[in-house]
Structure 1
Amino acid sequence: MTLNKSTLSEQIYQILRSDILNQRIPLGTRLTLKNLKEQFGVSSTPIREALTRLTEEGLVNHYSNIGVNVISLTEKDLTELYQFMGDLDRLAILYSAEHPAQEQICRELEGVLSVTNAIESKGALLPEDIPEWIEHSDRFHLIFYDYCRNQRLALAAEKLRSQLTIFSNIYETEPQPQRQINQMHSRIWDAYRRKAYAQAGDLMKQHLEDSLLYAKQCIVN
């Protein structure tokens, strides 16, 4: 594999991150320097730098004298993850409600929904439609963090969202979850635009609890 030497660690990080999030590298897989050096044809330094970033992001675990493994989440881990993510997303909505640019927030939310509604209206999504649908589905949540004006909240959510994305990338390819997600996003947006912010937050938390049920089905026993 040929890499641009000026950004080796960045490129390796992005490749490994994408492979983990899309489960081309399965949960629990051990990553060794030897194999990664052979795969990328580079020294250990940029690989270590990339693995450090993945560890900080919560996508891999580093064990002294053992090595690096892609995270492996139990059903209990998933429950805690989705429950806490629901709490954070709810807070992001409530904090965003204090931002002066409410019309802009509503326009951005509506713009995201117009894309996912248009894609979903086709019926069963074609393979080429799925990445765009997932991108806009994720964007619906991220808009609230853009306007929450709380860096600590945004940083906490960013790390957890990477772990959640591993599972949403699986179940969001299926028609039933797509329909339910789109319906909940529409209900959240409707409540938010009516300034029923507490209701919007409660709906968001319920949305994450509903998504947890799909995520649990992705765990291989």
Structure 2
Amino acid sequence: MKNTLVKMTLSEQLYDILKNEIMSGTIPLGSKITNRELQERFLVSSTPVRDTINKLYQDGLVKEVTKTGAQVINFDYGYAAEINEFIAAISCVALTMTATRGADKEVTKHLRKYLKKQTIAQDDDAYFEADFHFHKSFFDFCGNQFLKETYKRYNLIRFLLIKFAIRTAEDRSCSIKQHGEIVDAYSSGNFDLASQLLQLHYIHGLSLIKEYNP
């Protein structure tokens, strides 16, 4: 059986690089990215650069797109609060849908897997990767592709903000403890409680975002 090679376009490669740099903080919130600088840095024409910036704009990671470039989103608590509220609402819907579909055993297995990964994470990347997949588990098994795609798009912005908001070991321990409580309630079949705990978890995340001062 032959291996299938996936060829990426220049704009797709640029997009992955810039998205990762924004998410990691290498490109700070509020900073400007210009077409010329990107063309010189990557030795490419203006077309893949414009395509990349437009894709970042669709993701909500940049704003004020002009002929010369764009600006990475800045910290705005009101915007963050609305995003957080929206993600919390659809997450609770996804949780309920997994239970209705009888996918709770499979979801529980994934939740415990990523909770363990969070607990033993040795660095930021491993911790936040596990955190992302923990929450994504409900969407992966909810049976609704539109809900899954909506989460994937809008959670990126919340994830960017919460990644900078969780700064201490105490923040992490609290989040892990809350995840554990969600798993306990969900795995025991108490889905209403699990949904309530998930909602409280997002409220707690918003309190951390509020304290963030870039």
Query: TM-score normalized by structure 2?
Result: 0.90
| CA distance in structure 2 between the aligned counterparts of 1:168 and 1:18, rounded to whole angstroms | 15
| CA distance in structure 1 between the aligned counterparts of 2:15 and 2:106, rounded to whole angstroms | 34
Gaps of 5+ in 2: 1-6
In structure 2, relative to structure 1, the CA distance for the partners of 1:88 and 1:36 (3 Å cut) is: same
| Range moving further from structure 2, 61-70 or 208-217 | 61-70
Partner of 2:71 in structure 1?
69
In structure 2, relative to structure 1, the CA distance for the partners of 1:41 and 1:65 (3 Å cut) is: closer
| CA distance in structure 2 between the aligned counterparts of 1:36 and 1:196, rounded to whole angstroms | 51
Query: Aligned runs of 1:75-114 on 2, under 5 Å?
Result: 75-114=77-116
Partner of 2:32 in structure 1?
30
| CA distance in structure 2 between the aligned counterparts of 1:33 and 1:65, rounded to whole angstroms | 8
In structure 2, relative to structure 1, the CA distance for the partners of 1:130 and 1:65 (3 Å cut) is: closer
Partner of 1:11 in structure 2?
13
How far the C-alpha of 1:173 sits from its partner, in A, is: 4.5
Partner of 2:200 in structure 1?
206
In structure 2, relative to structure 1, the CA distance for the partners of 1:97 and 1:104 (3 Å cut) is: same
Partner of 1:193 in structure 2?
187
| Range moving further from structure 2, 108-117 or 135-144 | 108-117
How far the C-alpha of 1:178 sits from its partner, in A, is: 0.5
What is the root-mean-square deviation in Å for CA atoms of aligned residues? 1.8
Give yes or no for contact 1:17–1:54 (8 Å, CA) kept in 2.
Answer: yes
In structure 2, relative to structure 1, the CA distance for the partners of 1:188 and 1:6 (3 Å cut) is: closer
How far the C-alpha of 1:143 sits from its partner, in A, is: 0.4
Aligned-pair identity in percent equals 28
Matched, 1:132 2:126: yes
How far the C-alpha of 1:67 sits from its partner, in A, is: 4.0
Give yes or no for contact 1:130–1:173 (8 Å, CA) kept in 2.
Answer: no
| CA distance in structure 1 between the aligned counterparts of 2:8 and 2:129, rounded to whole angstroms | 28
Partner of 2:159 in structure 1?
165
What code does the residue aligned with 1:167 have? L
Q: Which has the higher contact order (CA 8 A, sep 6+)?
A: 1
Give yes or no for contact 2:35–2:68 (8 Å, CA) kept in 1.
Answer: no
| CA distance in structure 2 between the aligned counterparts of 1:189 and 1:87, rounded to whole angstroms | 18
Partner of 1:52 in structure 2?
54
What code does the residue aligned with 1:110 have? R
Q: SS where residue 97 of structure 1 aligns?
A: helix
Matched, 1:216 2:210: yes
| CA distance in structure 1 between the aligned counterparts of 2:35 and 2:67, rounded to whole angstroms | 13
How far the C-alpha of 1:77 sits from its partner, in A, is: 1.0
Query: TM-score normalized by structure 1?
Result: 0.87
Gaps of 5+ in 1: 120-127
Give yes or no for contact 1:75–1:219 (8 Å, CA) kept in 2.
Answer: no
| CA distance in structure 1 between the aligned counterparts of 2:75 and 2:116, rounded to whole angstroms | 34
How far the C-alpha of 1:191 sits from its partner, in A, is: 0.7
How many pairs were matched up?
208
| CA distance in structure 2 between the aligned counterparts of 1:63 and 1:166, rounded to whole angstroms | 20
Deviations 1:124-153 (A, max 9, x none): xxxx52211211111110000001111222
| CA distance in structure 1 between the aligned counterparts of 2:92 and 2:56, rounded to whole angstroms | 26
